[in-house]
């Protein structure tokens, strides 16, 4: 979680005033009593009102976000949550844990526009059947998935359109959106540094 906090902070620090303002609004909408920290009750109330994965509403997940173990979430810890939500970081479809590193995604679900289905490395390596209607050979790791997007346009998308050439996750908006984009597309970033994300 510490690595994700650093990524989230890097995005925040390099964001525009408007992007930082949007996150500040997100933080304030969670911090109901305005004391600069988000209690578990405030967190639980907020997450229950939104359509977030039920596994992210738990005390266990809250404790994972609480890096300094203070019993509440500070500004940077809520920023980490915001990054997680906006970047589409997955919960393992098998064991239901939050995946903080590499994972495997079902390409069949991705290509057909179905709901995303991802599993952690441990569950991918485990013997036995998956709790999913597609078999293991349909799964690729997240880096291979990005590379396949870079090399070939998705159906119904023009290769040169902004939606296909979206940059890495950004603090673009805290509104409910199907886009997980957190940093606006920048055509000045070399192609090998761009991450192709689409509306999933």
Tokens, residue 30: 């969670």
Produce one character per residue of 48-60: b if its CB has 16 or more CB atoms within 10 Å, e if not.
eeeebeeebbbee
What average pLDDT does the segment 162-175 reach?
A: 37
Three-state SS at 141: strand
CATH 3.30.56.10 fits 2-87, yes or no: no
Kindly report, residue by residue over 67-120, the tens digit of the pLDDT.
999 999 999 999 999 999 888 888 898 988 888 889 999 888 888 877 788 999
196 DSSP β-pair partners: none
pLDDT at 153: 60
Question: In this structure, are residues 107 and 31 in contact, taking their beta carbons and an 8 Å threshold?
Answer: no
Tokens, residue 175: 């509104």
Question: Residue 70 and residue 82: Cα distance in Å, rounded?
Answer: 19
Residue 148 has pLDDT above 50, yes or no: yes
Structural domain boundaries of the chain?
2-87, 90-152
pLDDT at 65: 94
Question: Residue 159 and residue 123: Cα distance in Å, rounded?
Answer: 34
What average pLDDT does the segment 56-72 reach?
A: 92
Three-state SS at 75: helix
Q: Rounded to a whole number, what is the distance in angstroms from the first to the last CA of the chain?
A: 24
Residue 142 has pLDDT above 70, yes or no: yes
Tokens, residue 110: 């991705």
120: how many CB neighbours lie within 10 A of its CB?
23
pLDDT at 162: 38
Tokens, residue 13: 């620090």
Tokens, residue 149: 């997007």
Instruction: Report yes or no on whether pTM surpasses 0.85.
Output: no
Residue 56 has pLDDT above 90, yes or no: no
pLDDT at 50: 73
Kindly report, residue by residue over 155-168, the tens digit of the pLDDT.
555 444 333 333 33
């Amino acid at each position: 979680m510490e690595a994700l906090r650093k990524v989230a902070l890097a995005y925040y620090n390099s964001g525009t005033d408007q992007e930082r303002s949007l996150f500040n609004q997100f933080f304030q909408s969670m911090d109901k009593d305005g004391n600069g920290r988000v209690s578990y009750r405030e967190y639980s109330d907020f997450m229950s009102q939104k359509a977030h994965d039920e596994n992210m509403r738990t005390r266990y997940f809250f404790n994972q976000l609480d890096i300094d173990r203070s019993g509440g979430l500070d500004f940077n810890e809520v920023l980490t949550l915001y990054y997680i939500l906006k970047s589409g970081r997955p919960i393992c479809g098998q064991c239901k844990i939050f995946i903080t590193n590499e994972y495997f995604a079902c390409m069949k679900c991705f290509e057909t526009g179905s709901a995303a289905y991802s599993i952690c490395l441990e569950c991918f390596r485990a013997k036995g059947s998956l709790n999913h209607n597609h078999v293991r050979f349909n799964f690729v790791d997240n880096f291979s998935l990005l590379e396949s997007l870079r090399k070939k346009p998705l159906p119904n998308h023009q290769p040169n359109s902004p939606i296909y050439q979206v940059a890495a996750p950004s603090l673009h908006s805290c509104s409910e959106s199907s886009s997980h984009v957190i940093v606006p597309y920048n055509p000045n970033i070399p192609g090998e540094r761009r991450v192709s994300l689409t509306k999933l």
